């Protein structure tokens, strides 16, 4: 089976392409993107994947030419690329439309897998606590990425109707974290002081990058028709995540977050979009039962995925801006307890017995 992977210039596309190339049931892997992979990713791809970098319009011909049977559409960006939001929208929506047009014209195509996002559910206080695949968004999300995702899913639904012979899989991915995945979110938790929204403690969910890739590979190689939430079961609140990363949260009032978003952009650590702001106010939790049943694969829980991020990136290592390292806190606890016991012994005049008196 020959596979076309879009978005090989970025983490998810590049890693998926490499994994597919190593899979026994996959023949050729053609990787396309509009931007060249980073040196690190290029080294990974080198010799395993045929990488073609050009405008998407000119790349579509690759489907017919390379006798492609499966397309994995990973080329959807979540933050504005060079050229700002208009370029991002162009890349996401026009790119998807052109890809779908080419797919529709390819008679040999059997599978179409698209990376969507749980951002499709939006985030608002009127939403149920847990989204299932059939929950519609209550309010139209205000973030650009979420709007793109909803539009892309709409085009993919249209494609599914026109080509019922193609197995179409829509994977709504939660934000992915992992020791080697470098995203805005992972950079966010590496800040010495992590901004949070005043009076809000959203429930978050993550998917381990390894699990996300495993599920993507399975959906290309196996056959799973439909829409699936891809997230680590369980929940971690933002305050909990900040503390587990050994950080200190700095509550910022909601309007102040826009200023923070501008700061993030200016400081070059990444983009902080309205999608993420809404996520940081209301949180988002999805139900993953359908995924586990259909794929027979249980991803690492959100807690485990986050713990791996903290561990893998050494966030609580000495010198990594971690103020509240677990060892320090435990030591302070013992110190304070011993101090109180000593003080009580001094005052009451009885021998210090702690909790072990019998």
Partner 1 sequence: MTDSPSRARTGARRTKPRPPSARRSAASAGAASTGAAADAKGGAAPSTGTAGTTDAATPARANGRRQSRAALNGHAGTEGRSNGRRANGVPWTPPVTPEPETASPPVPVDDHEPDIWDERVAGALRFLRRRITGQYDVDEFGFDPDLTETVVHPVLRLIYRHYFRVEAFGVENLPTDGSALIVANHSGTVPIDALMLTAAVHDETPDRRHLRLLGADLVFRLPFLSEVARKAGSTLACNPDAERLLRNGEYVGVFPEGFKGIGKPYRERYKLQRFGRGGFVSAALRTGAPIVPVAIVGAEEIYPIIANVRPLAKVTGLPYVPVTPLFPWLGPLGLLPLPSKWLIQFGKPIDTSTLTEDADDPIVVFNLADQVRETIQESLHELLERRPDPFT
Among 96, 102, 149, smallest CA distance to 121 is for 149
Does 203 interact with partner 1 (rule: CB under 8 A)? Answer: yes
Does 255 interact with partner 1 (rule: CB under 8 A)? Answer: no
Cβ-based nearer residue to partner 1, 176 or 189: 189
**Residues contacting partner 1: total by CB under 8 A:** 43
Does 337 interact with partner 1 (rule: CB under 8 A)? Answer: yes
Does 142 interact with partner 1 (rule: CB under 8 A)? Answer: no
Does 298 interact with partner 1 (rule: CB under 8 A)? Answer: no
Name the segment binding partner 1 (CB under 8 A); options: 41-49, 175-183, 263-271, 324-332.
324-332
Distance CA 248, CA 322 (A): 8
- The residue within the footprint of partner 1, chosen from 311, 333, 342, 346 (CB under 8 A), is 333
- The residue within the footprint of partner 1, chosen from 201, 214, 222, 294 (CB under 8 A), is 201
Residue 42: how many CB atoms within 10 A of its CB?
14
Does 198 interact with partner 1 (rule: CB under 8 A)? Answer: yes
Does 270 interact with partner 1 (rule: CB under 8 A)? Answer: no
Q: How many CA atoms lie within 13 A of 355 on its CB side?
A: 2
Name 347's Cβ contacts closer than 8 Å, sequence gap at least 6.
none
Quote the tokens at residue 129: 């606590």
Cβ-based nearer residue to partner 1, 234 or 270: 234
Cβ 245 to partner 1 shortest distance, Å: 8
Does 243 interact with partner 1 (rule: CB under 8 A)? Answer: yes
- The residue within the footprint of partner 1, chosen from 135, 184, 260, 321 (CB under 8 A), is 135
- The residue within the footprint of partner 1, chosen from 108, 128, 158, 192 (CB under 8 A), is 128
- The residue within the footprint of partner 1, chosen from 65, 107, 125, 349 (CB under 8 A), is 125
With contact defined as beta carbons under 8 Å apart, do 125 and 197 qualify?
A: no
- The residue within the footprint of partner 1, chosen from 199, 268, 319, 351 (CB under 8 A), is 199
- The residue within the footprint of partner 1, chosen from 37, 143, 283, 299 (CB under 8 A), is 283
- The residue within the footprint of partner 1, chosen from 47, 107, 129, 164 (CB under 8 A), is 129
Residue numbers of the site for partner 1 (CB under 8 A)?
A: 125-130, 132, 135, 197-201, 203, 234-237, 239-244, 254, 283, 285, 324, 326, 329-330, 333, 336-337, 340-341, 344, 353-358
């Amino acid at each position: 089976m020959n596979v076309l992977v879009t978005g090989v210039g970025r983490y998810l596309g590049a890693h998926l392409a490499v994994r597919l190339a190593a899979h026994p049931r996959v023949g050729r892997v053609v990787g396309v993107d509009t931007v060249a992979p980073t040196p690190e990713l290029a080294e990974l791809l080198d010799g395993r994947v045929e990488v073609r970098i050009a405008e998407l319009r000119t790349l579509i011909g690759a489907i017919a030419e390379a006798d492609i049977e499966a397309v994995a559409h990973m080329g959807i960006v979540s933050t504005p690329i060079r050229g700002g939001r208009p370029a991002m929208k162009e890349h996401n929506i026009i790119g998807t439309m052109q890809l779908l047009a080419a797919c529709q014209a390819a008679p040999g195509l059997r599978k179409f897998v698209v990376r969507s996002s749980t951002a499709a559910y939006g985030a608002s206080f009127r939403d149920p606590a847990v989204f299932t695949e059939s929950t519609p968004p209550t309010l139209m999300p205000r973030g650009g990425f979420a709007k793109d995702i909803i539009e892309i899913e709409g085009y993919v639904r249209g494609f599914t109707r026109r080509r019922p012979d193609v197995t179409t899989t829509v994977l709504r991915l939660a934000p992915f974290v992992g020791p080697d995945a470098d995203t805005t979110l992972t950079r966010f938790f590496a800040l010495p002081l992590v901004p949070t929204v005043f009076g809000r403690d959203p429930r978050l969910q993550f998917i381990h990058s390894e699990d996300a890739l495993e599920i993507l590979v399975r959906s290309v190689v196996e056959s799973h028709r439909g829409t699936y939430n891809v997230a680590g079961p369980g929940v971690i609140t933002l305050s909990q995540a900040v503390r587990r990363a050994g950080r200190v949260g700095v509550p910022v009032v909601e309007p102040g977050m826009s200023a923070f978003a501008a700061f993030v952009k200016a400081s070059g650590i990444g983009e902080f979009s309205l999608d993420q702001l809404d996520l940081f106010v209301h949180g988002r939790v999805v139900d993953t039962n359908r995924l586990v049943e259909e794929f027979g694969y249980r991803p690492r829980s959100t807690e485990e995925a986050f713990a791996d991020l903290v561990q893998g990136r050494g966030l609580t290592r000495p010198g990594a801006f971690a103020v509240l390292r677990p060892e320090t806190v435990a030591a302070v606890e013992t110190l304070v307890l011993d101090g109180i016991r000593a003080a009580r012994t001094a005052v009451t005049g009885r021998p210090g017995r702690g909790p072990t008196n019998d």
